């Protein structure tokens, strides 16, 4: 006697594999040490692996829970001056604390990342990626369960590696860095453009 067994029940169809994507990210802060500075702005932009197509994006102005006194922390003066000049300090100060503080910023960022990780494998990308991830984790993770960047791939695309390679060849990839506006939208557009140029061999030296 032969049992009528539906073999499809023993081998159910697998869900489609998630697509690999780049999540470009940038933060603007009042300093370099995440334990002694404040977070002012966050920017993220989703692209495909060649950055030919852009997807979801996120831009958050942050009203820090506190701002350190420059007289006590003179090492922060350069960052303060830079962000006063580009208008970010004023935007941050004028943003209502309710809804723009670290807690609400963390909730908004977690929702954005969770939505993307449900659909894609996300590889962090940008300039000094570990710096930005550390800033986000230090300032925001305490307001959510686990790490604020949970779900992102451990494999990252950091343009600093390409630029250091240029320096090894005697080039100066940072010669025009003083022209940076030090705002997340500008930095993300710059990095995505440079990456696409490098893929096509048209990066300006």
Q: For residue 120, what are the contacts with CB-CB under 8 A and spacing of at least 6?
A: 18, 19, 20, 21, 46
Q: Would the pLDDT of 7 be above 80?
A: no
Q: How confident is the model at residue 8 (pLDDT cuts 50, 70, 90)?
A: low
Element (H, E) at 39: strand 39-47
Q: Kindly give the residue spans of alpha helices, DSSP state H, lying in 4-155.
A: 7-10, 77-85, 88-94, 97-100, 102-117, 129-140
Longest dimension (CA), the chain: 89
The pLDDT tens digits for 73-92 are 888 889 999 999 999 999 99
What are the residue boundaries of the structural domains of the chain, listed by start? 17-200
Residue of 84, 24, 31 whose CA lies nearest to 53 = 24
Distance between CA atoms of residues 41 and 56, nearest Å? 17
Q: Would the pLDDT of 143 be above 90?
A: yes
Class of 17-200 per CATH?
Answer: alpha beta
Across residues 187-201, what is the average pLDDT? Answer: 95
Q: Would the pLDDT of 184 be above 70?
A: yes
């Amino acid at each position: 006697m032969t049992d009528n067994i539906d073999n499809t029940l023993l081998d159910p169809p697998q869900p489609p594999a998630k697509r690999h994507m780049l999540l470009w990210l940038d933060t603007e802060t009042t300093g370099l040490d995440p334990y002694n500075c404040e977070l002012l702005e966050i920017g993220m932009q989703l692209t495909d692996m060649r950055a030919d197509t852009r997807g979801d994006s996120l831009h958050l102005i942050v009203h820090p829970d506190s701002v350190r006194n420059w007289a006590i922390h003179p090492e922060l003066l350069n960052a303060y001056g830079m962000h006063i000049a580009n208008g970010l300090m004023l935007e941050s100060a004028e943003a209502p604390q309710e809804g723009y503080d670290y807690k609400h910023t963390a909730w908004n960022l977690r929702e954005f990342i969770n939505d993307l990780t449900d659909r894609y494998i996300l590889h962090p990308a940008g300039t000094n990626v570990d710096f930005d991830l550390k800033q986000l984790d230090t300032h925001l993770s305490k307001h959510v369960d686990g790490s604020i960047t949970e779900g992102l791939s451990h494999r990252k695309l950091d343009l600093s590696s390409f630029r250091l390679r240029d320096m090894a060849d005697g080039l100066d990839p940072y010669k025009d860095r003083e022209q940076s506006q030090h705002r997340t939208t500008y930095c993300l557009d710059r990095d995505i453009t440079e990456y696409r140029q490098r893929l096509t061999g048209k990066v300006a030296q």
